[in-house]
Amino acid sequence: MSTRLQRIKDHILSANQCSEMSALPPSPLTTHVLNTGRGIPAAGMSITLYFLDPTTPAWNRLTTGTTNNDGRCPGLITREAFSPGTYKMCFETGQYWEGLGETCFYPYVEIVFTITDSSQKFHIPLLLSRFSYSTYRGS
């Protein structure tokens, strides 16, 4: 494992802490998942954050969380762990729709993005229906 990846992992929050983050400083990386088919936040969706190790090119899991009742997953990564590089957020959309008793076309959504200036804040919304999704870089 590269030194850079180990530095990130040393600062990552453990799995399932995502929903308990209201007292922590804001994460430099946020998301908001909206079920546009029903017009509601997508609560209870599992999200996994990965970092691409440039020395091996392998995806390394950093943390996993679950969206809260507002469709947000605060605390994905700390400011100290956030560094330039390529990241991936994997949204378990199939499990989410199954939990609602519905089927979907996309069993998961992976959003890959590159951070060049880790001092900035990055917001990655996911707008979701059973047969489509869209995303953009928010602020």
Question: What tens digit of pLDDT does each residue of 30-80 get?
Answer: 999 999 999 999 999 999 999 999 999 899 999 999 999 999 998 899 999
Rounded to a whole number of angstroms, the CA Rg of the chain reads: 15
- Say if residue 33 is exposed, middle or buried (CB neighbours under 10 Å; 0-12, 13-18, 19+): buried
**Single pTM value for the model:** 0.82
Q: Is 72 annotated as a binding residue?
A: yes
Q: What's the pLDDT tens digit per position in 8-29?
A: 555 554 444 444 445 556 889 9
What CA–CA distances, in Å, run from 86 to 42, 59, 63, 114, 128?
Answer: 25, 9, 15, 4, 23
Which residue is associated with the tokens 């908001």? 32
Domain-by-domain residue ranges, the chain?
27-135
**Separation between Cα atoms, residue 107 and residue 38, nearest integer Å:** 18
CATH of domain 27-135: 2.60.40.180
pLDDT confidence of residue 2: 65
What CA–CA distances, in Å, run from 71 to 67, 81, 135?
Answer: 5, 23, 14
